[in-house]
Structure formats: structure tokens, C-alpha cells
Amino acid sequence: MFRSNGRRALRILVPLGLLAAWEAFSRAGFLPRNLLPPPSAVLYAWADWIFGFNHSAGSDSGTWLMDASASGMRVFTGFTLAAVTGIMAGIAIGWSRVAEASMEPTLQMLRPIPPVSWIPLAVIWFGIANKPAIFLVFLGAFFPILMNTIHGVRTVDANLVRAGAMMGGREHQLLRFIVFPAALPSIFAGLRIGIGSAWMLTVTAEMIAVKNGLGYVLWDSYNFFRYDLVLAAMASIGLLGYASDLAVKALMTATLHWQQSTTVQGRQG
Amino acid sequence: MAAIEISGVRKVFRNATSGDELVSLEGIDLAVASNDFLCLLGPSGCGKSTLLNMIAGFETPSAGTVAVDGQAVSSPGADRGMVFQQPTLMPWLPVWENVAFHLRLKGASRRARREAAATYIDMVGLTGFADHYPAQLSGGMSQRVGIARALLMNPRVILMDEPFGALDEQTKMEMQTELVRIWEHHRGTIVFVTHGIDEALTLGTHIAVMSARPGRIKALLPVDLPRPRDVTSPRFNDYKRHLLSLLRGEEAGSLPASLAVPA
Ligand SMILES: Nc1ncnc2c1ncn2[C@@H]1O[C@H](COP(=O)(O)OP(=O)(O)OP(=O)(O)O)[C@@H](O)[C@H]1O
Ligand SMILES: [Mg+2]
């Protein structure tokens, strides 16, 4: 009891303490105030960005929800595309020698290319709008999902597949009813890495190739010396990234509920 | 017609790296009649699992033929049930879904699956555990689920590869009694791999004694003992002595007169 309460308190006390220290440091005046605005100033600018009550955030006043949902939509679309294609390609490569031989070398060669280095091509192909950002998010999320799915499929207990074949399962049924669920723990590990890179890449893309969204506000505010808004944008990205990871994690917990008794009680079965 | 007919089977494994060949089975001829309970008994590495896997369709013979119900075996299929040494249950499915997995593959409704599963869950003595997950079961209970899962397909032949090998002595004996009860009630042909002499004598109507390197069938012994079998009876021990001498490689010659099966 005490321990878990104590840990819960720590989760809140540590960030609050850090904020208080930052506030004090910033007010002490070691640095010019506009270079490191205190949290109170950031909150103030952030609040106007969200609610638009006094236009202290300038042209961004009251546009937060639009910016956040624009970024969120890019993350969601790119991530969903990456999840669907990454899981399907991963199952194919992990399961079939032919798919492995035909797809894996190409994909492995594309994988080390940092997704941001695709920005020039993405802009040429898709122009300045949603599409290059979605494309970048897709690239960033696709590979971790793909790699983890392949790993998950390759490490499926062969005896489960044999048992399924012995019960009359045809290949597509074995994939759907045995290989896919057995690989889910691995797939979810990939999804969680993927959602992290998704936010990273939306913001990067918005700083260069899009004219709205949290990343755009961040870069635009930097150009106008509004470091309070830069910090508010960073905090927004952090919070939304955290929230989407929690969402993936909640989906994982609900889907893999059968796994908990195995890990918590450590029973071999 | 015999339920299982194996003739002239030979199995060679080629080591992929060294290219060496290993003759795992040689000259196997075996016919198992319908409703027989055949135990494959032999030392580790003599090819028991290999032979069973050929009947299951996981391995193909290098020479010779394996037929079940007159049909040459070409791939795994639901006409044969298999109980593995490790329970191999789907850990993400509750007990009843594991038992009815075959029906799920056939597209049966949830209700039909639940009902069918209940029958077989009761049969193996797991009433009340339908909604448990495999991780919540003991080793013996998991094997019961594996047996229920094989029974539900109502296969002509059930193949078992040391299914009780990982269980403690007490649970093993319970499971053997249970299996004999189910087999007597359910009928059907069982091929049961074991390296336990007592286990083979407790269960089988016939025992195929195998020897290693290369794996051959040394003797096919009908077991004429009343059930339930009494491991302490003199006749049981006569059989045991005979099997031991066969396994030790002594040319035991013909069956001692005391064990001769009345014609
Ligand atoms: N896939 C394989 N590749 C190469 N050799 C194999 C393969 N499967 C089995 N063998 C060899 O064939 C022989 C028989 O193996 P098998 O597993 O059938 O023995 P077993 O009688 O079931 O032994 P145990 O009682 O230990 O399970 C062994 O020497 C083994 O090394
Ligand atoms: Mg074996």
C-alpha cells in the first residue's frame, strides 16, 4: 500500500519539482528571460494558443486544437498505413521463403536510410501538404513494425503450427488463427516503437514541408523569437506522444490479457 | 483392414552441413488393427518419434509406405488426432476454445463450439475449467486438454508421443487410468510412444519393441493381461522381464510359455 502510494506520488512530485526548479532558475535572471522563459510564461502563451483569449500568441492564438489535430491526423494515418502493411509484409516474410527471398533484401537496404533523408523526394512527389508528412511517418513506423513482426513470426512455437495442421488447418487458417496471434506480443513491441517514431517524423516533416501542425508552429515561433511558444509546442508534442503510446499500450493490455498470468506468476506451461 | 499399415519403411536423415547420412529407421513393417492400443517402446533415439511423425504426416518415409485406413499418408490431417509431449495449447485461448479449435477451423458457431467442448472437457475430468487459460493449468491438466482436443475430432487414430513424460509419477498413473477408461469407452486406435516398460504394459493391447541404430522393430508383443492392470501381479512381471531382456538386446527367443497367448 504505502509503497505503491509512494510511487504514485513520485510520478507527480518529480515533474512538479523539476518545473519549480526551472521557474526559479529562469526568474533568477542568469539568462535573458526571453531565451529561457519560465514555465509560467510558457503556460500563459500555451493557454492563449489553445483558447485565444488575448492574442498574446499572435497569429497562433486559438489555433492549438487545429494544429494538434492536424499533426495527430498525420500520425494516425501514417501509423495505420505502416501497421497494416508492416504486419502483412512481416507475416509474409517471416512465414514464406519465397516472400523472404523476394522482399527482404530490398527492404533491408531501404531500412538504414534515415526517413528524414526522404524529405526532398517527398516534397517533389507530394508537394507541400499532408502527404509528405504522412509518407515520412509511414517510413518511420513501418520498419520497426516490420522487423518485430518478422521476428515474432519466426519465433512462433513450431509445435503450435503442427497442432493446427493436425486439426485440419489450411495454410491461410494457420496464419490467421495461430501464427498471427502467437506473434502479437512481438507485433505490439513494434507498434510501440513505431508510434514513437511517428511523432518524431510528423514534427520533422511539419518543420520543413508543411504549413500547419505542431511542428510548423514550433519552427515558425523560433523564426519569430517566440521561445515560450517553442516550448509550448515541445510540451504539446511530448504530451500527445505520451498519450498515443498509452493508447497503444492500453490496446496491447486488452489484447494480450492472456499473457499476464504467464508473466506475473511466472508459471511454465 | 488394418487401421494403420506400415510396410518397408526406411528413413534417412541427411545432415545439411556435414552431408552425413543417418539411418533413423530401417525395414519397418507394422500393421495396427482397428481399436488396438499399440505402444511403441524403445530406447531414446531409436526413431519412435520419427515413426509416429510419419503416421502423422510431418515426415515422409525415404522408402516404403505408410497408410491409414487404406489411404497413403501425405500430410497432416484431422482424420488423425495427435497428443504432443508438450501440451502445445494456444496460450491466448481459454480451455474450451483450445478443445474446440478444430471446429473453429471448420467455421462452427461459437455456441456449437462451446457445447462440443463441454462434452469433452467433462470426459477428461476438467469440468469447471472451461474458461481457464493454459497458463493457469498444471501440466497434467494441460495434457488433459490436449487429449480432449484430439478426442473432439473423433479421429480414427490417435497418436501420442510420450504425452505423460513430463508428469510426476502420481499424476502419470492417474492419467494412464483415465486414458484407458476413455479408450474403452470411446474405442478407436491409439499409437502411444513411450520409453517406460510399466507404462507400455499398463496401457497397451500390443507393444512394439524397438532397437536403435538403425531403428528397427524387434518384436511385436500382444499383451494378454486383464484390466485394470495390476503392476504387482506375477504375470505383469513375467512380461516385464521379457521386455527387459528384449530391450537389453538379448536374443530372448520365443515368448516364455507362461505368456503364450491362447489361440
Ligand atoms: N529432423 C531430423 N534431422 C536429423 N536427424 C533427425 C531428425 N529427427 C530425428 N533425427 C535423428 O533420428 C534418430 C531418431 O530420432 P527420434 O526423435 O525419432 O528418436 P526417439 O526414439 O523419439 O527418441 P526419444 O525417446 O529421445 O524421443 C535420432 O538419432 C535423431 O538424431
Ligand atoms: Mg521422441
C-alpha B49 – ligand 1 centre gap (Å): 7
What per-residue confidence (pLDDT) applies to A267?
45
Number of domains in chain A: 2
Structural domain includes residue A91: yes
pLDDT digits (tens, 9 = 90+) for B168-210: 888 888 889 988 988 888 888 999 999 999 999 999 999 999 9
A32 shares a domain with A126: no
What per-residue confidence (pLDDT) applies to A264?
45
A217-228 as b/e: b if 16+ CB within 10 A: bbbbbeeeebbb
A132 shares a domain with A32: no
* Residue appearing with cell numbers 504530451: A239
A251 shares a domain with A121: yes
Cell of A108: 533491408
CA-based nearest distance B238→chain A, Å: 38
Q: CA B69, B73, B78, B81 torsion: positive or negative?
A: positive
Q: Are B67 and B79 in contact (CB under 8 A)?
A: no
Sequence ranges of the domains in chain B = 37-59+71-253
Structural domain includes residue A56: no
∠ CA B45-B47-B53, nearest 5°, is: 130
A98 contact partners, CB below 8 Å, separation of at least 6: none
Give yes or no for residue A2 having a pLDDT over 70. no
pLDDT digits (tens, 9 = 90+) for A155-175: 999 999 999 999 999 999 999
What per-residue confidence (pLDDT) applies to B253?
55
Q: What percent of chain B has pLDDT over 90?
A: 52
Structural domain includes residue A55: no
The architecture in CATH of the region B37-59+71-253 reads 3-Layer(aba) Sandwich (3.40)
Q: How confident is the model at residue B250 (pLDDT cuts 50, 70, 90)?
A: low
Give yes or no for residue A81 having a pLDDT over 80. yes
User: What ipTM, to 2 d.p.?
Assistant: 0.85
Q: How many CA within 13 A on the CB side of residue B11?
A: 27
Q: What is each CA distance from A36 to A59, A156, B37, in whole angstroms? A: 22, 52, 83
A144 shares a domain with A38: no
Nearest to B198 by CA among B226, B167, B169, B157: B169
pLDDT digits (tens, 9 = 90+) for A223-253: 988 899 999 999 999 999 999 999 999 999 9
Structural domain includes residue A101: yes
Give yes or no for residue A108 having a pLDDT over 70. yes
Q: What global pTM score does this model have?
A: 0.85
> Is the Cβ pair A162, B82 closer than 8 Å?
yes
> Is the Cβ pair A168, B58 closer than 8 Å?
no
The lowest-confidence range among A30-39, A111-120, A188-197, B237-246 is A30-39
Structural domain includes residue A30: yes
A119 shares a domain with A171: yes
A225 shares a domain with A193: yes
Give yes or no for residue B12 having a pLDDT over 50. yes
Contact B148/A at CB under 8 A: no
A73 shares a domain with A38: no
Q: Are B139 and B187 in contact (CB under 8 A)?
A: no
> Is the Cβ pair B82, A166 closer than 8 Å?
yes
Structural domain includes residue A157: yes
Contact A261/B at CB under 8 A: yes
Full residue range of the structural domain in which residue A26 is found: 1-44
A131 shares a domain with A257: yes
Structural domain includes residue A224: yes
CA-based nearest distance A169→chain B, Å: 6
